[in-house]
Structure 1
Amino acid sequence: MSCKNGRMDDEIDRREKHKSKVNAFGMRYLRSVCGKIRMGRASDEWEMKKCGLKGNLTGQCERRVLRWFGDVERMRVDRVTKQIYEDEPMFGCHLSDVCNHEDSHIPRFVRLCVEAIESKEENMKTDGLYRVSANLSQVQKIRLQVDQNNLSVLQQEEDAHVLCGALKLFFRELKTPLIPFDVFDAALKASAYTNQKDKIKHFKEIVKSLPTPNRHTLEFLLRHLLKVTQFHSFNRMHISNLAIVFGPTLMWSEEETSNMAFDLMMQNLVIECLLQEFDSIFK
């Protein structure tokens, strides 16, 4: 009887230790160990099974996780934490999360992508820069590599359209736009002012109210776009053309409106105003 109770106590202790490990390192890492990031819920099912709940899991996935847990005791917590975030996706996140993880005000991907575009004069002279659609499969390859923390692909990429496509995709896939929902209406209103001083004043207030990563990233991106316009005789990208491209890329309404065409036109006007009055708004 005592042996049976001892085995039960051991089993309870084992399960409690398992639960504490799961809580400590999180289901997010289990998904990465199982190779199931953004796909399926195999690791959740395994966690349920090991905790005594009902759930199924493929043997291959279970072996991977068990192998990892076998190494946990030999790993320092800071090393585990580093592994959790090493391959954290860059695309489809909140801008603040990316910047907090990197301890920066501007995502490293944005900086390196812009640097790669500006590094060659031939890139800046490319006809239809940002307007011409890139090869989608190549853009997705860039995205996958960047999400695996391999940013060296940006310097290796020779097609300027692919780099521009990847940069646009990053901003389009943010969970909240670079110009956030809470200033959407104010930005549209500011762009409609006919008095230039009033327009600049309201845009300065809007920019000042932005979260730090949004403000710094917006300024960095607009400064880059102004450099693109300096080659307009080659790339045919004037401020108005870039505004058409980046209006719906940098801002959108949280809810569908009754007049989407009008909002789209006003979004373009917001970016056009920010570019035209860049020095006055960001000084």
Structure 2
Amino acid sequence: MLSEELWLESEKNYATAVHKSKKGRKHQELLALALGMKVGGRSALLWQPLKLFAYSQITSLVRRAALTQNDNHFNYEKAHNFKVHTFRGPHWCEYCANFMWGLIAQGVRCSDCGLNVHKQCSKYVPNDCQPDLKRIKKVYSCDLTTLVKAHNTPRPMVVDICIQEIESRGLKSEGLYRVSGFTEHIEDVKLAFDRDGDKTDLSSTTYPDINIIAGALKLYFRDLPIPVITYDTYSKFIEASKLFIFIHILHVSVIPNCRVTQNDKENLMGAENLGIVFGPTLMRPPEENAMTSLNDMRHQKQVVQILIQNEDVLF
């Protein structure tokens, strides 16, 4: 009886081994077909490194195909954030599909989406970076476009969540956006966003003072690597202010401030006061110069004030 059980067990193990062997061979044959080679014979000696090579290529192709076919409702152009990278094992360029030669610093990798290309090829890669949330370490001080593309949202989720809370319980608060909340509490909100993302709790039970939420929103704009009114357009906006020319931009932040001005009798924050608060927050000169910043302050205020006052025409 015991010998019969042992025989059945050995038969079962043999069948399992055969199944795994066939499955493994079929997998190898598929990879070999993709590489244009035959399994067995002399080529078997090259199989292990080629298998690693194939896995690398197939993984890259699948990821790129997923990015291309991603149903992204909000299409923003975003340049890749390439940094020199040393790859372990065989690797090749996801732009030209040629092998990356060398032992160290064979190419560059986008720190936002993980795209791997030759250094030379990086000059020709289109601005089609689709950031991976796993690679984004923080919310504050993160490029605005990176954040909205990673979350697939029309605006940064920090802006949406803060404004939703401010509009629900703070529109009649006197000095809204002008009165500062406690710095340590604002830092708590910043850390909460970096830690919890869109699950951050800004409710009145957690932060009773609405000025903390308003301060966290202003800090987010201040910490952006590139301001909402970009460095490229800064001088144009300053000139526009001097000439009283209205320019169409800033849908991200102007509309919420217009709602604030609708309650200016209670909160005492009309378009002019909001311009004073948000002028230096939403725009700053490309070069750090105290004198330039001081001279431009009234124009910065005027730019934001004009945009708020003419929201119905501009947007």
Scaled by the length of structure 2, the TM-score of the pair is 0.55
In 1, are the aligned partners of 2:133 and 2:150 still within 8 Å (CA)? Answer: no
Report the Cα offset of residue 99 of structure 1. 0.9
Aligned equivalent of 2:114: none
Question: Aligned partners of 2:207 and 2:293: how far apart in 1?
Answer: 36
Q: Which residue of 1 aligns with 2:156?
A: 107
Q: Distance in 2 between matches of 1:243 and 1:237?
A: 9
Tell me the CA shift for residue 167 of structure 1.
0.3
Q: How far apart are residue 265 of structure 1 and its match? A: 1.4
Number of equivalent positions: 194
1:231 match? 263
Q: Say if 2:305 is the partner of 1:276.
A: no
Distance of 1:82 and 1:256 partners within structure 2 = 32
Structure 1 stretch 160-169 or stretch 250-259: which is displaced more?
Answer: 250-259
Query: What residue in structure 1 maps to residue 294 of structure 2?
Result: 261
**Does residue 192 of structure 2 align to residue 145 of structure 1?**
yes
1:117 partnered with 2:166: yes
Query: Which protein, 1 or 2, shows the higher relative CO under an 8 Å CA cutoff with sep ≥ 6?
Result: 1
Q: Which of the pair is proportionally richer in helix? A: 1
> 1:153 is paired with a residue of what secondary structure?
coil
Which among 188, 205, 210 is matched to residue 238 of structure 2? 188
1:279 aligned partner, one-letter code: D
- In the alignment, which residue of structure 2 is the partner of 1:157? 207
* Change in 2 beyond 3 A, CA 1:83/1:222: closer
Cα deviation, residue 119, structure 1: 1.1
Shift of 1:116: 0.7
Q: Which amino acid aligns with 1:96?
A: T
How far did residue 260 of structure 1 move? 2.6
Deviation for aligned residue 1:114? 0.3
Deviation per CA, 1:218-237: give whole Å up to 9, x if none.
31421111111122111111
Q: Which residue of structure 1 aligns with residue 65 of structure 2?
A: none
Conserved 8 A contact 2:234-2:284: yes
SS at match of 2:257: helix
The match for 1:42 is: none
The CA deviation string for residues 74-107 of structure 1, in whole angstroms up to 9 with x for no partner, is xxxxxxx97724x631100110110110112201
2:285–2:293 contact (8 Å) kept in structure 1: no
Equivalent of residue 176 in structure 2, options 118, 129, 139: 129
Shift of 1:158: 2.5
Once the two structures are TM-superposed, the CA of residue 246 in structure 1 deviates from its matched residue by 0.2
Q: Distance in 1 between matches of 2:253 and 2:292?
A: 28
Pick aligned residue for 1:172 from 198, 217, 222: 222
Structure 2 residues not aligned, in runs of 5+? 1-48, 61-87, 89-103, 105-130
What amino acid does structure 1 have at the position aligned with 2:272? Answer: S
CA contact (8 A) 2:162 2:217 kept: yes
C-alpha RMSD of matched pairs (Å): 2.9
> Residues 10-159 of structure 1 correspond to what in structure 2 (within 5 A)?
84-85=134-135, 88-120=137-169, 123-150=170-197, 151-155=199-203, 156-159=206-209
Q: Deviations over 1:140-189 (max 9, x none)?
A: 11111100134332234332100000000000000000000000011011
Given that residues 284 and 293 in structure 2 are in contact (C-alpha distance below 8 angstroms), is that contact kept between their aligned partners in structure 1?
Answer: no
- Bigger shift: residues 172-181 or 152-161: 152-161
Could you give the per-residue CA deviations for residues 106-152 of structure 1, whole angstroms, max 9, x where no partner exists?
Answer: 011211110011112xx111111100111111111111110013433
Change beyond 3 A, Cα 1:185–1:126: same
Partner SS state of residue 260, structure 2? helix
Q: Distance in 1 between matches of 2:302 and 2:186?
A: 28
Task: Write the deviation string for residues 27-75 of structure 1: whole angstroms up to 9, x where unpaired.
Answer: xxxxxxxxxxxxxxxxxxxx9xxxxx9xxxxxxxxxxxxxxxxxxxxxx
Q: How far apart in 1 are the matches of 2:190 and 2:298?
A: 29
Distance in 2, Cα, partners of 1:171 & 1:102: 18
Between the aligned partners of 1:129 and 1:228, the Cα distance in structure 2 is 8
**What is residue 276 of structure 2 aligned with on the other side?**
244
Which one has a bigger Cα radius of gyration?
A: 2
In the aligned structure 1, how far is the partner of 2:133 from the partner of 2:154? Answer: 23
Q: How far has the Cα of 1:190 moved from its partner?
A: 0.9
What is the CA–CA distance in structure 2 between the aligned matches of 1:192 and 1:279, rounded to whole Å?
Answer: 22
Output the CA distance in 2 between the equivalents of 1:244 and 1:220.
18
